[in-house]
Structure 1
Amino acid sequence: MPTWTSTASADVPAYEEEARTAAETFREENGLGIAPIADIVALIEQTQDVDVTVVGVDDSNEHGLTMVDPVRGATIVAVASSHNPMRWRSTLAHELGHLIFRDQSNGKPGALSVGSVVERRAQSFARHMLIPLAGVRHFLERLNEPLEMKAFSDLVQRFQVSPAVAAIQLRDLGAINTPRYTAWSDIHTPTLSARFGWADQYTSLQAESNQRRAPQRLLARVITGYVAGLVSLETVASVRGVAPQDIAAELDEAGIKPTARMDEADEDDLLAGADPDVDLSWLEDI
Structure 2
Amino acid sequence: MEGAPGRVLNLIEGSGQSRRAFGQDVGLDDSKLSKSLSGARRFSSLDLARIADKCGVTIEWLLTGEEPALALAARTTTGQQACTVLETARKYSVMREDLATLGRSQPWRPVDVGYSGGTYAEQGRALASAALVRTASAGLSVTDADLPALVETAFGADVAVVILDDGFDGLCASSDDAKLIVLGASAIPVRQRFTLAHELGHLLAGDDQDVHLDKDIYERPQEKDSSEMRANAFASAFLMPEGALRETVGRSGLTVEGFAALACDFKVAPSALAIRLQQLRLIDAGTCDRFRTLTAAKVASIAGRSEEFARGVADASAARPPGLLVRDAYLAYESGATTIRLYANLLGIDADELGQSLDSSEGRQAPDDNIAPAGGW
Query: TM-score of the superposition, structure 2-length normalised?
Result: 0.55
Match of 1:136 among 245, 250, 255: 245
Secondary structure at 1:31 match in 2: helix
Bigger radius of gyration: 2
The aligned runs of 1:121-160 (5 Å cut-off) are 121-143=230-252, 146-160=253-267
Moved over 4 A (4+): 32-35, 242-253
Indicate conservation of the 8 Å contact 1:167/1:184, yes or no.
yes
Distance 1:237 1:113, change over 3 A: closer
| Number of matched pairs | 236
Secondary structure at 2:301 match in 1: helix
The aligned runs of 1:42-57 (5 Å cut-off) are 42-57=149-164
Report the residue type matching 1:77 in the other structure.
I
Report the residue type matching 1:141 in the other structure.
G
Report the residue type matching 2:190 in the other structure.
M
User: How far is 1:243 from its partner?
Assistant: 7.1
Q: Matched residues, percent identical?
A: 27
- 2:177 is the alignment partner of 1:68: no
Partner of 1:117: 226
Partner of 1:275: none
User: How far is 1:46 from its partner?
Assistant: 2.9
- Which stretch of structure 1 is more off in the superposition, 238-247 or 177-186? 238-247
- 2:288 is the alignment partner of 1:184: no
Distance 1:249 1:187, change over 3 A: farther
Partners in 1 of 2:356 and 2:281 — Cα distance?
55
Secondary structure at 1:79 match in 2: strand
Distance 1:245 1:130, change over 3 A: farther
Partner of 1:163: 270
User: How far is 1:250 from its partner?
Assistant: 9.6
User: How far is 1:227 from its partner?
Assistant: 3.5
Distance 1:23 1:249, change over 3 A: farther
Indicate conservation of the 8 Å contact 1:84/1:209, yes or no.
yes
Report the residue type matching 1:157 in the other structure.
C
Residues 161-198 of structure 1: CA distance to partner in whole angstroms, max 9, x if unpaired?
11011112221232221122112112110011123311
Distance 1:187 1:197, change over 3 A: same
Distance 1:74 1:175, change over 3 A: closer
Partners in 2 of 1:203 and 1:246 — Cα distance?
35
Residues 28-70 of structure 1: CA distance to partner in whole angstroms, max 9, x if unpaired?
244269954313212322343332211111133x42111134x
Match of 1:85 among 189, 200, 217: 189
Partners in 2 of 1:202 and 1:149 — Cα distance?
18
CA RMSD across the alignment:
3.2
- 2:125 is the alignment partner of 1:17: no
Report the residue type matching 1:26 in the other structure.
A
Partners in 2 of 1:101 and 1:168 — Cα distance?
23
User: How far is 1:155 from its partner?
Assistant: 0.5
Query: TM-score of the superposition, structure 1-length normalised?
Result: 0.71
Partner of 1:277: none
